[in-house]
Amino acid sequence: MTPGKIARQLLLAVILSNKSASRPSPPSQQQPPSAPMSNQRILLAILVICIPFSATTHTTATQAQSAAVDPPRKTSTTAKTTQKLKVMTWNLEWFYDEYREDNFSDLAKEKSSPNREAWDWRRDAIAKSIAAARPNVAAFQEVENRRVLWYLSRALQRNHQLSYFETGVEGRDFFTEQDVGYLNSSGVEVQKQTFYGFPPSLRGTDRYHSVTKHLETTITISSGGITYPVVIFNTHLRAREEAAEIRVKQARLIQHWLSAHLDEGVDVIVLGDINSEHRGDSTRDPSTEIGVLCGAETESVEDDLIDLTRLLATPDRGTHLLAGKEFDRILCSRSLMHDDPDRLDLVFSKIENLRELCIQGDVDTPEQHWEQYWEMAADQRDLSDHLPIMATFELK
């Protein structure tokens, strides 16, 4: 018998003894007044020893199990504090510095900044917009390499006293040489980054297509001494309407990669330039890339992702210079849409289209932006042909 059980039985005995003592007894059955007092003292002494030992052992075991299996339980302390996680996605449109010697393709060299002055202006203008939004995680597409993200982080530190750390790897788009990457604020810990391979077992089927531009990170955020993990998948799918079938296969491959996380109930955020020609209300159509990415091909709801773009007002869903194009998306697992009252968890709060951080003066026309960009006045150039969008989640 464990000390806890002994303690509980002894406590019950004391209670019953007290109840019996309170009832009138025949004179022949009455005990000397000192006997119950002596027994109670002995029992209370045992309880003092047993109860703390039992409670400590039980609490330690419960904490170990909870840390391994379940998110921490909410307490009066965690209920009063709310840690926010702001996640942004932004296609920076050929975010290349002026140095061409590290580029190999003619296209990459052509799209580089024309000179150092132009690069400095663009880097600092993007940094100013990021400083205004202050995301915890900023996921970018169409960046040249990790080095330009480091330059961007230095501009944020130098001009805005904000500390960000860059994360990036070289992808497999050798034609444009575009990559994806992240800036993470000082409160975010990157525990792991993954660039998935495309093995022959998957290449040998007609169901999948290589996703050359992607990067998955596992991050943790902390609140009140508690650490909480989130998986974030940043991607840039094939562009143009005629590539719709390729995008469906790319979306299927991403779902394949994410299935282990979703099956385990891990919180997952997928974001980036999906290049979908379909609007946000087509997320349950299994013939579209956005439908496949949201899990519409399977009967199970466990692998479903929620397209947060649908929660934007219709005029705010467009994210591109071409009117009505909803290329940029933020999706999340179902677990992030519901607050468990008994568990500390991350819960979706809002999504925003931050067009004011990209548009300068009047909106550029396609001709101005793509053909006359560097001839325009600096304060009239839109910073990209894509708008940034940002989702806020709360750890509570």
Task: Return the amino acid letter for 383.
Answer: L
CB 268 within 8 A of CB 305: yes
What pLDDT does residue 273 have?
Answer: 98
Model pLDDT, residue 72: 57
- Calculate Rg over the CA atoms of the chain: 29
pLDDT of residue 75: 55
Conformation bin of residue 224: beta by default, left when phi > 0, alpha when psi is -120 to 50: left
In our burial notation (b when 16+ CB lie closer than 10 A, e otherwise), range 99-131 reads eeeebeeeebeebbbeeeebbeebbbbbbebbb
Count the alpha carbons within 13 Å of 42 in the hemisphere toward its beta carbon.
8
pLDDT at position 52, please?
38
- State which residues of the chain have pLDDT below 50: 1-69, 77-80
Report the C-alpha gap between 273 and 73 in whole angstroms: 36
φ, ψ (nearest 5 deg) of residue 129: -70, -40
What is the structure's pLDDT at 221? 95
pTM of the model: 0.81
DSSP string, 232-279: EEEEEPPPSGGGHHHHHHHHHHHHHHHHHHHHTT--EEEEEE---SS-
- DSSP assignment, residue 14? H
Tokens of 122: 């663009």
Instruction: Tokens for 216, please give them.
Output: 């998955």
DSSP H or E stretch at residue 148: helix 146-160
Write phi, then psi, for 125 (nearest 5 degrees).
Answer: -65, -40
Instruction: State the burial class of residue 297 (Cβ atoms within 10 Å of its Cβ: 0-12, 13-18, 19+).
Output: middle
* Cβ-based neighbours of 254, under 8 Å, separated by 6 or more: 211, 214, 233, 235, 270, 293
Domain 77-395: which topology?
Deoxyribonuclease I; Chain A (3.60.10)
* Of 277, 279, 283, 364, the residue nearest 315 (C-alpha): 279
Q: What is the pLDDT of residues 344-367, one digit of tens each?
A: 899 999 999 999 999 999 999 999
The DSSP letter of residue 73 is B
Residue 88 CB partners (closer than 8 Å, separation 6+): 130, 133, 135, 137, 138, 139, 354, 388, 389, 390
Strands 137-143 and 83-95: parallel
Spell out the domain ranges in the chain.
3-69, 77-395
Q: Write phi, then psi, for 316 (nearest 5 degrees).
A: -90, 0
Report CA torsion sign: 326, 332, 333, 335.
Answer: negative
SS3 23: coil
Give the SS3 label for residue 139.
strand
Q: What is the pLDDT of residue 81?
A: 56
Q: What confidence score (pLDDT) does residue 188 get?
A: 97
Q: What local confidence, expressed as pLDDT, does residue 26 receive?
A: 41
DSSP string, 164-198: EEEEE---S-TTT--EEEEEEETT-EEEEEE----
